[in-house]
Structure 1
Amino acid sequence: MSPALVARREEKGFSTRAVHVGSDPDGATNAVIQPISLSTTFKQDAVGVHKGYEYGRSGNPNRDSLERLLASLEAGGAEAIAFSSGSAATATIIQSLGPNSHIVSVSDVYGGTFRYMNRVAAANQGLETTFVDLENASEDEVVAAIRENTKLIWIESPTNPTLKLIDIRRIADIAHTHASAPLVLVDNTFLSPYWSSPLLNGADIVMHSLTKYINGHSDVIMGAAIIPPHRSDVADKLRFLQNAIGAVPSPYDCWLAQRGAKTLQLRMKTHGQNALAVANASQGLGGLSKSPK
């Protein structure tokens, strides 16, 4: 998607995009809610001649609709890739780095990500990870952690579960001016696209566990990666690996996640208002150790 198309798309408000993008009326019936396409195989009019779908692992109408929505909601996004879980997205992204690569990761990264880096990728692709307190590290300390084979800097902000806040723009500027030029990934699960836009702050990849806020109904396990227009090479590599590995979500889960995302703004706005009320009450009471009367 061109930057001009991205800009025009984002003229619409967040909630409008959440409701409408990827939710065009069904062409056959004009139903405003898309049907669930469970077919694994699609008829071809001739060899290689079809309507954009040939096998369910390689593409599905419900997955395409969800991906269009996710790319729209993540400001600065051009392409989204939906995965069968956040862990599947993590594994595919790390595998895309190739053998004997190095990652600089925020020190208190999500436990499942830490496990994959240290116990799976380290053993199977010779990956090394340096864990750095990116909230408090100086520029010199960040630069010192980057090696010639550093392919990725992995950020969560806030981190899971200690809620450290990372200056994404600062880390992205360091990475992109370094000779190794590592990609910068931000796991944006905790804030969602409503509260945070890492791509606008220099990130090259944003990932989510859609299981959490974007779906919002505790009935879907799914992940996603969203890529900006200038990193189409990254999107192509991830989509190729996803198809080869088979880390794809089911059509029904895609349909559910798209339904859930329609209310993302309402839910996240209320979460924020409630959190602010708790913080204000806590401050007024001198801390949570005191109980309100």
Structure 2
Amino acid sequence: MGVALTTLLFGPTGQVGWELRRALNPLGKLISLDRHERGGLRGDLTDLDAVAAAIRTVKPGVIINAAAYTAVDAAESEPEQARLINATAPGVMAEVAREHNALLVHYSTDYVFDGSGQQPWREDDPTSPLNVYGQTKREGEEAIRVVDGNHLIFRTAWVYAARGYNFIRTMIRLACERDELKVIDDQHGAPTGAELIADVTAHAVRTAVMRPELRGIYNLTAAGETTWYGYARFVIEQARAAGVPVRVEPDAIEAVTTDTFPTAACRPKNSRLDCHKLETTFGLTRPDWRIGVARALEEMDLPQQKGKSDR
């Protein structure tokens, strides 16, 4: 990429958005917008006019949408709000991006699939969401595709980061408070760091901005697979080794089935994603999920036992 780009980022305060602010800086000028007004511009995805006006004013070469309605259970009772943010707004972005010949990057989810079977899902497999969140994310994908502009859609799963609230922090908090834990062991996927997603995005943008024939959907997760139970066990073992005062012993973590914890929205049991297309198209090798989780734990501000210092 020989020319510096102007990139417009929606959703800069979330887990992925925060990491994107770091990863995108080498590409050129970066303008980040959230719900609050900055310089007369707002990135509130519930205000479609504001979204379109921001793009037309900035005239970026790249638009990255890291904003989304992600409250999976709440979406069951707020379908229109979820649809506005996850489907309608990305469609508006795609239309205005095409006006300016800009590359649009958007993030989707494993929840567009029904979670059946054991094989990793490919990009061209039939989608069949189990819940409103998944339905609205699938509608967002389609809203972008029908515009037929230059776009990249990354489907990912089980996202975490060193900052913010996520499964890692929840497990450590509970492990410090309780003597026993029950964790779901019949849902399979790959914990995927926001840092990895951001770095892959920046790498892909460098290539795709000059090669619109690469447009389309790509699966993006860390390598390997586990269950929430295996994930929790790894996190707690790593935390214990780092001096975090966890009370739960490894044998006191009980593997349970999904129906042990009823939720408003159904979850897919198979969240494995086949990332071969991503690797071959952009020349990437994905790290094992344990590498990213261990690194995130090192970067977190975690409670320490007396006599132990932060690493």
Compute the TM-score of the two structures, normalised by the length of structure 1.
Answer: 0.37
Compute the TM-score of the two structures, normalised by the length of structure 2.
Answer: 0.35
Larger RCO of the pair (alpha carbons < 8 Å, separation 6+): 1
